[in-house]
Chains A and B, each alone.
Chain A
Amino acid sequence: MAFRAAEYERYSGKRTSRPSWLPIAFGTIQRGWQSKWVRRVSVLSLILGFGMMAMMYMVNQVVPEWRSVTEQAAKHAGQPAFKIDTSYYLMLIHFFVRPILLPLALLFGYDLIASDMRTNALEAYFSRPVTPLGYLTGRTLAFVSFLMLATFGPFFLVWLADIATAPNDEHFSAIAHVPVAMFFALLIISLMIALMVQAVTSLTKSATWSNLVFVVIFLFFGIMGPVLYDLTDHQQDMMAFSILNVTKVICATFLGVDFEASGEHINASPGAAFGVAIGVSVVSFLIIMRGLRKRSLV
């Protein structure tokens, strides 16, 4: 057994010059991973991606012409032709955004700053070389990374399977831009949601209360858009008050999906959706910084 003398010793090693937000980001990831439900939702999301990837591969092995077969079958049944294109990826990303990204944001972030306020950890951070901006950068970086892993990760796996089983170069060139477009769309959505959740948790020390406030915000943002749309004689931009519609429009804009062509009319314009996303992010950032600056100066 190693023996360690109970005596104080000065540190003689070399200190690194890495930014102080980096250990905060790693610490936040570790902390998030400790949550059973965060692990379950993240792993489930990745399993879904692997499952879809495997299924696509196996179908392709058994019926190499499955794409044309499904198109013909849909045609005979009088349904719109099933085709893997950008609209399909828009539908797919919503499959990950709605049931995975939003609950994961809640599970990961509901207590992120509130817990540090309860235990006065903020005082411990800010009496060290950590600034409020550095603290927020570290926390947000970890938060966004988690959300991206659970959404972009499985999405990318499906895209890889699609590319691997692509029947021709034409299909490849039609969907080649999808990962980059989706990466930036999900980055904007994840950043907005991460900042919004943290803003709520920076308002109160109580995790239960911040959880409740967050749910109310989401309900409010979900209902507000359609209600205002009806009240204002069908002003489409009012849909931008629905967070879910904002995420949909942002993804569609990056993917280049035309809602008019697909017959979907009740959506906010890209300008309004991006405006709301930027507005929510900026206001959330200011709320967090105000809360943190109350506990620190620099």
Chain B
Amino acid sequence: MNTKVLELEGLVVKYGSFTALHGVDASFSGGALGLLGPNGAGKSSMLRSILGLVAPAAGSVRVFGEDTKAAGARLRRKIGYMPERDCFLGGVSCVSGLSHFAQTCGFPKDDAMLRAHDVLHFVGLGEERYREVSTFSVGMRQRYKLAAALVHDPDVMFLDEPTNGLDPQSRMRMLGLVERVSGEHGIHLILASHLLPDVERLCNEVWVLDQGKMKRTASMEELTTAARGAKRIRIDREGAAAFTRCAQEEGLTIDLGRNEGELVVTHPEVIVEPENVFALARKAGVPLLGVKDAARSLEDAFLEALEGETETDGETEMQETF
């Protein structure tokens, strides 16, 4: 039997009178899952409720087929959690703190210390392992948190905004580390982020959350290739009407693109080839400024999933972010 990594049934999370998650139902079979959503969408609340750090007001959470209420402490041995905010033991060296955390997960003392050294080398903090975490820079703290999530060798990792506050170089390095752990060692990954390129690079499945509700669950392939076969063209404003008329005569559909002067050409049954577009342009007598595949980016898919909520502040914020 293939056990699912994560199953949520009617999950409701409340903070006083504020409802952070409204009856979320979803399941994740394995690999790398991206939790997407604007700030305040409920991503962190979902991770924290799965870990048992927040009590669900209703519904259930199962990790590897076991209910987190019944088997919470035992299940957490299999989970590595990298929280968004800093989280470390004060007054001890980085390696001692990690070794201590590994021991709380059942590692023998010597193995725990060896393991702490190993993961710190892996994340690139080998030379800094005897320093206190409070003296670390932002990038080093992020890498320390990844090491802390890995030190007890989990089967699934929850990463909450792992690239927050990192410069582009450090961000690429962090993504590379996560990619290696997830891809080469079979550790399942659940990544909460509002940085779509991070999710697009690492994940094979995406859940889109907004205002505590599940807007969409789909595989990355499904999301980004839904419009495969379509072409995105750039054309000057004067020629757009003539091109549209010619295209419609040929049975093609023309939609406005997201950018000015951009049209998306699709056919309900066949793949639109570049030659077809060039022929249409010649027929309409208008010059083409550019032609490219109209396969959607994750950003397009994300914004589409949020459609209907476009008047909200959260959506505006997301558009500004990207």
Contact = CB atoms under 8 A, between A and B. Distances in A.
Interface of A: 4-11, 13-18, 20, 23-24, 27, 30-31, 34, 115-116, 118-121, 123-131, 295-298
B87 A124 contact: yes
26 contacts: A4-B117, A5-B121, A6-B124, A8-B122, A8-B180, A8-B181, A10-B153, A13-B107, A14-B108, A20-B104, A20-B106, A30-B92, A34-B91, A116-B90, A119-B88, A119-B89, A119-B134, A120-B88, A123-B83, A123-B85, A124-B101, A128-B77, A129-B106, A297-B52, A298-B69, A298-B72
A30 B91 CA distance: 11
Contacts of A27: 89, 100, 103
B86 A296 contact: no
Contacts of A124: 83, 87-89, 101, 148
Interface string B60-100: 00000000010011101101010101111111100000001
A8 B91 contact: no
Contacts of B181: 8
B58 interface: no
A119 to B, nearest CB: 4
Contacts of B134: 119
Interface of B is mostly: helix
A298 B52 contact: yes
Given A8-B180, A16-B107, A124-B88, 19 more contacts: A4-B118, A4-B126, A6-B122, A11-B152, A15-B106, A23-B100, A24-B104, A34-B91, A119-B86, A119-B133, A124-B83, A126-B53, A127-B79, A128-B77, A128-B104, A128-B105, A296-B53, A297-B54, A298-B72
B87 A20 contact: no
B151 to A, nearest CB: 9
**In terms of DSSP, what is the predominant structure of the interface of chain A?**
loop
A115 B90 contact: yes
B149 to A, nearest CB: 9
B174 interface: no
8 closest A-B pairs (Cβ-Cβ)? A15-B106, A23-B103, A11-B153, A127-B81, A120-B87, A129-B73, A298-B72, A119-B90
A29 to B, nearest CB: 12
Interface of B: 51-55, 69, 72-74, 76-77, 79, 81, 83, 85-92, 100-101, 103-108, 111, 115, 117-119, 121-122, 124, 126, 133-134, 148, 150, 152-153, 180-181, 184-185
A75 B52 CA distance: 70
Contacts of B54: 297
A8 B150 contact: yes
B106 A17 contact: yes
Contacts of A118: 90
A127 B51 contact: yes
A121 B69 CA distance: 22
